[in-house]
Chain A
Amino acid sequence: MKRAVLLLLFLAALAFPVVFTLPFPRHVMIMIFLYGALAVAWNILAGYCGQISLGHAVFFGIGAYTSTLLVAKGQLTPWLGMAAGAALAVLVSQLIGYPVFRLRGHYFAIATIAVGEIVQTLVINWDWAGGARGLFVPIKRPDSVVNFQFHQSKAVYYYIALGLLLLALAVTRWLERSRHGYYFRAIREDQDAAASLGVHVAREKHRAIAVSAALTALGGTFYAQYVFFIDPESVFPLSLSILICLIAVLGGVGTLWGPVLGAAVLVPLSEGTRVWLGGTGKALDLLIYGGLIMVIATLQPAGLMGLARRFRRAP
């Protein structure tokens, strides 16, 4: 039954660009996949391992900047840049982990905000990488997979974004069943008890952030190749880190599908208000986010997944 529903959803996702040929619905779906993938990646560290990060924009930005710098300065294909960005994000995540994982709970979250702000400030002042002005991805014609540029149609972006989301989900699914997934959850529920059983807490946390950072960086490269312009304000902001967190919290932290559900609700809301209300839409979607989060937090802390579970049980 569940398998059939998932297969149907997957086929619908594959067929979507065939049915909807206009750019806007495709764009909304691409954003759902992208933010869904980011929230799924965040969920590995925060939802399963219990380390609430509010600095994930760092990894997103590293992905975007690495591939863009390699394209602009080295003529390398963004696909290699994507791999390099993920590798660099893993390296940076390990360095960040050493000091930050000593902190617990709120203090950990606050420290990740500080790390995010530091990295953003560094990049703003890094002239070689464009500084505060940012970087353009050099436009190349014609469309090609090697160049990761598609100007004629959003369909290819659509399938790449879908691929990113499926990859993040597959990694999460695999982790859920592997012993590391259990170590992550043990650390989340009681770090001291996990340590007393001999779980190498520091190493498992580093493992969780490595996977999470790599997947987030892939999203950063995709964003750069989709928008063709990046600057510190668009790929390193605190608001992005918080948005990723909100999407997962709304959908259901620590569940496989929760972050996807959250993205499916929040992204159309923000894209919709942006289109229909123009400039003022920006504030309105945040207002609605805030309201939704409050409602969810009071009524159903397990998020939309918790709500869904309740309905499944009720009838």
Chain B
Amino acid sequence: MAGVILEARGLDVLLGDYQVLWDARLAVDEGEMVALLGPNGAGKSTLLNTVSGLLRPRAGAITFRGEPIAGLPAHRIVARGLAHVLERRRLFPYLTVEQNVRLGAYAPAARSGREAQLARVKALFPILEERAGQPARTLSGGEQQMVAIARGLMAHPRLLMIDEPFLGLAPRVVTQLVEAIRRINREGVTIVFIEQNVELALSLATRGYVLESGRVVLEGRSAELLRSPEVRRIFLGG
């Protein structure tokens, strides 16, 4: 596990007039799998949206593979190897599965290796081949999530950020997805994901960050966080 791939420090982020993140931080090592935890409205999605360039921070620094990326437009950040799978999947509902997935390869570098990457992604999610010609909106939630992750992978990322991959999915599908995400990670892609289910998140991730009301209140190895009374307080109350 060589070195830091992503580091964000001192992020202040506003949505309109309302400040959502206060002095937020996030550091991810190459090859890691990191979970962002926290109750609704804690700012997890805002943190990822800021890292991927969909939002601009008012203050703070973000470096990806050693280079500053804060304030860069999203397409530049994707081109550097940081892909982001949005909350609720956000597929293009009337385009086919295949078209959705191919649209993930926008950056020139990703475009040149597109067919090879497509084959790799199809091997990971066989559903892509079976449903290639179907409009994305006709798929089940779990299948749609697979398409969304596949679409993210088409950018050939070094770091893949997934916002709530397991939201609203059947337990059996969750197991499948967990397996797929593990495999993506084993193949060398660093992963950051958001998940509300603490046990699920920390069983998958190597480390976790806990956000509350826009601040990072805890970080640590999964095993430590699972034992932490603070985590119990935040997620179970009392």
Binding site for B on A (CB under 8 A): 179, 182-183, 185-186, 189-190, 192-200
Count of A-B contacts judged by CB separation below 8 Å: 65
A195 to B75, CA, bound (A): 7
B interface list, Cβ under 8 A from A: 52, 54, 73-75, 77-79, 83-86, 90-95, 99, 102-104, 106-107, 111, 151-152, 155
Check B103–A186 contact: CB distance below 8 A: yes
A200 to B92, CA, bound (A): 16
Known: A197-B106, A199-B106. A186 touches B90 (CB 8 A): no
A193-B92, A195-B54, A196-B54 are contacts. A182–B102 as well, Cβ < 8 Å? Answer: yes
In the complex, the answer to whether A182 meets B86 with C-beta atoms within 8 Å is no
The answer to whether A198 touches B93, judged by C-beta atoms less than 8 angstroms apart, is no
Cβ-defined contact, A196 with B93, below 8 A: no
Q: Who on chain A is nearest to B90 by CB?
A: A193
Determine the distance from Cα of A185 to Cα of B91 in the docked complex, in whole angstroms: 12
A196 and B103 contacting across the interface, CB-CB below 8 Å: no
Q: Is the CB of A196 within 8 A of B52?
A: yes
A18 to chain B, nearest CB (A): 42
* Given A182-B99, A182-B102, A183-B103, A196-B84 contact (CB < 8 Å): yes
Question: How close is A175's CB to chain B, nearest CB, in angstroms?
Answer: 14
| A183 to B107 CA separation, bound complex (whole angstroms) | 12
- Taking the closest CB of chain B, its distance from the CB of A178, in whole angstroms, is 13
Residues of A within 8 A of B85 (CB): 196
Using Cβ atoms and an 8 Å threshold, which residues of chain B touch A185? Answer: 92, 94-95, 99
Is B93's CB under 8 angstroms from A189's CB? Answer: yes
B86 touches A193 (CB 8 A): yes
Chain B residue with the shortest CB-CB distance to A188 = B92
CB distance B94 to A198 under 8 Å? no
Additional A-B contacts beyond A189-B94, A198-B79 (11; CB < 8 A): A182-B99, A185-B95, A189-B93, A192-B54, A196-B54, A196-B84, A196-B85, A196-B90, A197-B103, A198-B83, A199-B106
